[in-house]
Amino acid sequence: MTYTLSQITQTLDITFEAKDKEITGIHTLSEATATQLSFFTDSKYLSALSTTKAGAVLIDVKYAHLLPSSTIALLTDEAYLKLALASKLFAHKVITKGGHPHLGEGCDIDKRVRFGNNVTLGNNVIVMAGCYIGDNVSVGDDTLLYPNTILYHGTQIAARCIIHAGVVIGCDGYGFAHTKQGEHIKIYQNGDVIIKEDVEIGANCTIDRAVFGSTIIRKGSKLDNLIHVAHNCDIGEHSLFAAQVGLAGSTTLGRNVVMGGQSGSAGHLEIGAFATIAGKAGVTKSLEGGKTYAGFPAIEIQMWRKMQGLLMRMLKKRK
């Protein structure tokens, strides 16, 4: 979908004084191209303003002078809200009529599977009853989809993956902007999900699509049942998640991260390669790799054990 900037700003009730241009989508300041719209709402991204290649940016007037001359400033004191309204313009159009998939050799597809349009399945793919594979989805060779797996539009599954029953991949991430009156306006999630080779995803997991760009689960990672991966997360190769792990949006993991049952993370942080997060631990800040962490907030496990021992001794003294 392509709109002129004048069409977009009319929808957003914003005026601008510059030559009109075509806009093909929305992305972050660092990733946007000359045909994309971006936004600025957080001072921690201040350094990205001068280097952005975005065609136009939703921005408060006091920061507009920091943009390069090639980028049009769309002045507003509600940039995040305007982003939400603009995201609807580029949202995938949902239709119920599907098509016949492009099939590789040796596929085994149950007759009770439904397909969207422009679906591609590799060789020897098995799709069991009750699955739905949406528009523009690709599934790699030798991948197995157990019953009632749902792949939303644009999802990419690589070769030799196993997706267990009831998994939902590519549903919308949890994103809303808020009006001054306290109403919640949906930010349409216009990215996708990419599952790399040899990934196994347990039953009833949910993996959200990205706001922009991709949510990624990298090669060889294994997810237990009942896990939630939020929008724009990036899970490193050969990571292991036990049941009921939950990752908030834009969490980035290095390779071979192990997360124990019911552990979780806040958003917009990094967990280094070969880190281990003990069961029920809560990660609230970025953590170095190669160490084991426990507790809430998660700290190195040796310190956590000392704290627990100290608390127990204090309690015994009070009795």
Residue in the structure block whose two tokens are 């959200």: 208
Secondary structure (3-state) at 6: helix
Q: Is 84 helix (H, G, I), strand (E, B) or coil?
A: helix
Residues 6+ apart with CB under 8 A from 69: none
Gap between the Cα atoms of 174 and 231, Å rounded: 8
Residue 252's CB: how many other CB atoms inside 10 A? 18
Nearest partner of 102 among 83, 117, 87, 82, judged by Cα:
117
- CB distance 169 to 151 below 8 Å: yes
From 154, 129, 156, select the one nearest 143 (Cα to Cα): 156
Q: Is 164 one of the annotated active-site residues of the chain?
A: no
- Of the residues 184, 231, 238, 268, only one is catalytic, namely 231
Q: What is the DSSP letter of 21?
A: -
Residue 208's alpha-carbon distances to 162, 216, 227, 266, in angstroms, are 18, 10, 11, 15
Which phi and psi (to 5°) does residue 254 adopt?
-75, -175
CA pair distance 28, 99, nearest whole angstrom: 33
Say which residues have a Cβ less than 8 Å from residue 211's Cβ, sequence separation at least 6: 87, 173, 175, 187, 189, 190, 191, 231, 232, 249
CA 37 to chain centre: 19
Q: Which residue has the tokens 């007759």?
A: 111
Residue 128 exposure: Cα atoms within 13 Å on the Cβ side: 13
Calculate the CA dihedral of residues 94, 98, 100, 102 and round it to 10 degrees. Answer: 0
Question: What is the set of active-site residues?
Answer: 231
